[in-house]
Structure 1
Amino acid sequence: MPDFSPTEYAVPGFILLVIIEMIWARKHRPEAYEPRDTLTSLAFGLGSTVAGLLLGGMALFLFLLAYEYRVIDFGPEWWSIWWLWPVVFVLDDLAYYWIHRFGHRVRWFWASHVNHHSSQHYNLSTALRQTWTGAFTLGFAFKLPLVFLGVHPVMIAVAGGFNLIYQFWIHTEAIGKMPRWFEAVMNTPSHHRVHHATNPLYLDRNYAGVFIIWDKLFGTFQPEVDSERIRYGIVKQLGSFNLLWAVFHEWIGMLADIWKAPWRHKLAYLLREPGWTHDGSRETSDMIRERWQARQAQQPENQGQNRIADNNAIAPGEEAA
């Protein structure tokens, strides 16, 4: 059984690329980096590593338990079956797509995933804003079907590591668009900038990890539009660089909503989409997009190329001011 963690080997490369981007940004986009924001992102990365060490064993235990009930047995030399690695990588990326999609469409998962979207800046350090509470949401259960199919948990962990490494480089504004053939199949900085945007046109789009084809297949793809200037972060910004508030603010908000809600609606504040309320006092991303589209339809056609996002747009999971 191989003892290999690809992300451990990639860390020096991450650091080097951040430094290179900082040098580039100093000349071309000085606003791309904000020292306190970058320090917060680095603290997120360190904290997520510690959380993974403390809580990752729970996922490994469940995966190893499920592996005993696999329907296919690739034998003790499973790691040497060359064709199995690319197949697992693709299937793992498909599982990631659904984990990520649920992370935006179910508030229980969004309370953890919102950490990654909390920066108003988009640079390589933003990629390090990983959750501390992901294991607590049990999102890893989306990969259990792979285990039951006979994929060893170590193979899943290695595939997931390479998936995470790939996603690092797409968190940048230093790269415009890649060649058309690449943009058609792979996730790119352009596609992922859309995902991090709070503009109504872009809300809840482009969940892909490595292959953008999943978004095209499942109807969640949105290309980056030159006339739509991207705004990053969450529209109701945190207003603070306090690390603990950044990590737990949505958990606190969700629990407060559950506490105040009538009994028949309490569960919905966990399982419905972010922004949903039983009294309609806030908006979901679908509602925000529909309102924006209705407004655009009322504008004269000669203004179409100059349309910009509604300044009052709300990021998924955030409350109306």
Structure 2
Amino acid sequence: MSNFLHHFQSVHIPGFLPLAAALVAIEMLWRLLVAGKGYNFLSSGSTLLIALGHTLTDGLTALILAPVFGLVWHFAPWHFSMHDWRVWVIGFFVVEFAYYWYHRLSHEVRWMWASHAVHHTPEEMTLLSAIRLGWTNLISAGWLVYLPVMFLGFDPRMVIILLALDLRFQFFLHTEARVNLGPLEWVLNTPAHHRVHHASNAPYIDKNYGGALIIFDRMFGTFAAEREDEPLRYGLDHPLGTHNPIGIVFGEWRRLLADLRRAPNWYAAARIALGRP
């Protein structure tokens, strides 16, 4: 169990943190000195505190979910070996497919959105905004989406490694720097695609859910490209109006619970919690 928990909590990529820190510094200077976009240091400070809290709560989530994932895998009708490269290739697409639905449901189910909304609160698109993540993922239960992957026989350790690598890849998508990957834009998720995902303009809301790939968005009709007549506006459609980390992390939960208290009965409350944000 200790080995499994180690995989669940983190995947170490040598040099990733120094590279990420260097790129954040370069981007900050680029925004201030070259692009003329400015840089919100107050928002960045809030992001760093939120990221610290996420690290702590993520450890608790790992402690609780590790045995759950292990139990589901134990009762799978068959088990695929982590030592077979073909399993990794297939697993990559299966996990990416599950991530697409996890991400999409996090936008379409208000209970899940209460956690995920934290990531959409920054009002400028910077690399640092990639690490502004909620503290309540255990409660919002998005992890349920990955249980079928493990019941199909994919080792939970492999699923966790693939998800961790996917999230590290997504760090590089959070920037306004114009990076065009040519034909790969049709297959991979890119900064251009992810900028659209973070926009709160009506044509862009609930688009581009992919992690490393954009193919499932194209398949299921949730892809959108940036329009010249519709400049991107980042942040929530109804901003929380605070840089307080606690207010940001629990802002959407506060709104949700206020609506639940006003519900006339349990059926109406369930429709609110499970309906669209």
TM above 0.5, yes or no, is: yes
1:148 and 2:139 aligned = no
User: How far 1:89 sits from its partner (Å)?
Assistant: 1.4
Q: Which residue of the other structure, out of 114, 118, 125, is the alignment partner of 1:115?
A: 118
Residue aligning to 1:20: 26
1:102 and 2:105 aligned = yes
User: How far 1:11 sits from its partner (Å)?
Assistant: 2.4
Deviations 1:39-65 (A, max 9, x none): 111112111111111122222111001
1:6 and 2:8 aligned = no
User: How far 1:82 sits from its partner (Å)?
Assistant: 1.3
Q: Normalization by structure 2: what TM-score?
A: 0.93
Residue aligning to 1:220: 222
Q: CA contact under 8 A between 1:32 and 1:122: conserved in structure 2?
A: no
State the alpha-carbon separation in 2 of the partners of residues 248 and 223 from structure 1.
31
State the secondary structure of the residue aligned to 1:122. coil
Residue aligning to 2:262: 260
1:164 and 2:170 aligned = no
What 5-or-longer segments of structure 2 have no aligned partner? none
State the alpha-carbon separation in 1 of the partners of residues 189 and 67 from structure 2.
31
User: How far 1:128 sits from its partner (Å)?
Assistant: 0.7
User: How far 1:8 sits from its partner (Å)?
Assistant: 5.6
Q: CA contact under 8 A between 1:18 and 1:124: conserved in structure 2?
A: yes
User: How far 1:30 sits from its partner (Å)?
Assistant: 4.0
State the alpha-carbon separation in 1 of the partners of residues 273 and 78 from structure 2.
35
Cα-Cα RMSD? 1.6
User: How far 1:188 sits from its partner (Å)?
Assistant: 0.5
Q: CA contact under 8 A between 1:97 and 1:207: conserved in structure 2?
A: yes
* Correspondence list, 1:1-321, <5 A: 5-7=10-12, 9=14, 10-74=16-80, 78-179=81-182, 181-263=183-265, 264-274=267-277
User: How far 1:122 sits from its partner (Å)?
Assistant: 0.5
Percent identity between the aligned chains? 37
What letter matches 2:189 in structure 1?
N
Q: Normalization by structure 1: what TM-score?
A: 0.80
What 5-or-longer segments of structure 1 have no aligned partner? 275-321
What letter matches 2:239 in structure 1?
Q
Q: Which runs of 4+ in 1 moved over 6 A?
A: none
User: How far 1:14 sits from its partner (Å)?
Assistant: 1.7
State the alpha-carbon separation in 2 of the partners of residues 271 and 16 from structure 1.
41
Deviations 1:129-158 (A, max 9, x none): 111111221211111111111111111110
Q: CA contact under 8 A between 2:79 and 2:153: conserved in structure 1?
A: yes
State the alpha-carbon separation in 2 of the partners of residues 153 and 200 from structure 1.
37
Structure number with the higher helix fraction is 2
Deviations 1:150-169 (A, max 9, x none): 11111111001110011010
State the alpha-carbon separation in 2 of the partners of residues 93 and 13 from structure 1.
25
State the alpha-carbon separation in 2 of the partners of residues 210 and 110 from structure 1.
21
Structure-2 change in CA distance of 1:215 and 1:7 (3 Å): farther
Q: Which has the larger radius of gyration?
A: 1
